[in-house]
Amino acid sequence: MTTYALIGAAGYIAPRHMRAMADTGGKLALAYDPNDSVGIMDSHFPDAEFFTEFELFDRHVGALQRDGKKIDYMTICSPNYLHDAHCRFALRSGVDAICEKPLVLNPGDIDGLAAIERDTGRRISTILQLRLHPAIIALRNRFANSQKRHKVELTYITSRGRWYHTSWKGAEERSGGVATNIGVHFFDMLSFVFGPASRNEAHLRAAERAAGSLECERADVSWFLSLDRNDLPESVKGKKTTYRSITVDGEEVEFSEGFTDLHTRSYEEIIAGRGFRLDEVRPSIDIVSTFRNAPIVRSNGVHAFAQKA
């Protein structure tokens, strides 16, 4: 049976990991979160140990390892800026890591993690669940060998309340900002389907929204992301809180369904030795890090929503 430890057990995404562990026949042995709102653990793993102090969690991980009660994976669901440190902790404890997105905030951190992978012989896999979405796989199959350049427009509006800006998610140094925290899935998907980006232009960078354009190997991309429900198109305002649209050469890519069990699919792949590793993460981390530091200009491919903003 695959045995897990979990960091960040009280948060929004942790239950999806617990379900993925259970769905794939695994067991959560212990978990840690400074916040003790973890009653959700009873749904799958009532016997798991739980710690609110890192030192006691560390001690228990060490004790299990010494007693030969092997932990196979340490799952990391903590705030983005802590992923790097928590991955190091997992590997130094002799345990492979499964880390939520974005793996790290800057490309230089990937080099550091690669060095620890080499030193410890352990590995890090990250959650990039869109790569496992059937519609995205179909898109990649369709465009991976395309000989022409395509025009892609990405619009993603996902309403968040005021709490977002009080939490770590609203602090750029902790989450990376909107483009990193919300956008990294899409930038990974775009480079997965259309190849890595060579030009990366920033058009808009604010607490609530971000926009820019990318020149990928096989596509010119204009993108717009927002957390503000006022940006929702009139057609969905008052009916939905999220609007997602991706067009390729003017044709809408349909992928509104099929999101529910992608964490379980991610675990199946990781357990089978096909997790997404450091090199696969790098293109999207390069994109978000470059965007964060780029000057605001409006030369190429400005998204219509960004022109209004």
Provide the edge-to-edge strand list for the sheet that holds 49-51: 49-51, 27-32, 3-7, 73-76, 96-99, 124-126
Total residues in contact with ligand NAD, by rule CB under 6 A: 20
| 260 counts as binding ligand NAD under rule CB under 6 A | no
Among the residue ranges 74-82, 194-202, 228-236, 240-248, the one whose residues contact ligand NAD (CB under 6 A): 74-82
Q: What's the per-residue H, E or C state across 201-251?
A: EEEEECCCEEEEEEEECCEEEEEEEECCHHHCCCCCCCCCCEEEEEEECCE
| 188 counts as binding ligand NAD under rule CB under 6 A | no
| 10 counts as binding ligand NAD under rule CB under 6 A | yes
Q: How far is the CB of 300 from ligand NAD (least distance, A)?
A: 29
| 125 counts as binding ligand NAD under rule CB under 6 A | no
Q: Is 78 helix (H, G, I), strand (E, B) or coil?
A: coil
Among the residue ranges 75-83, 187-195, 209-217, 230-238, the one whose residues contact ligand NAD (CB under 6 A): 75-83
Instruction: Name which position in 4, 5, 8, 209 contacts ligand NAD (CB under 6 A).
Output: 8
* Residue corresponding to tokens 């956008």: 183
Q: How far is the CB of 289 from ligand NAD (least distance, A)?
A: 15
Contact 13, 100 (CB under 8 A): yes
| 77 counts as binding ligand NAD under rule CB under 6 A | yes
The size of the chain, in residues, is 309
Residue closer to ligand NAD (CB basis): 35 or 260: 35
* Residue corresponding to tokens 């979405």: 133
| 127 counts as binding ligand NAD under rule CB under 6 A | yes
Helix (H) or strand (E) holding 29: strand 27-32
Q: How far is the CB of 211 from ligand NAD (least distance, A)?
A: 20
Rounded CA gap, 105 and 80, in Å? 7
Structure tokens at 154: 């990405």
| 15 counts as binding ligand NAD under rule CB under 6 A | no
Which residues contact ligand NAD (rule: CB under 6 A)? 7-8, 10-13, 32-35, 77-80, 82, 100-101, 127, 129, 181
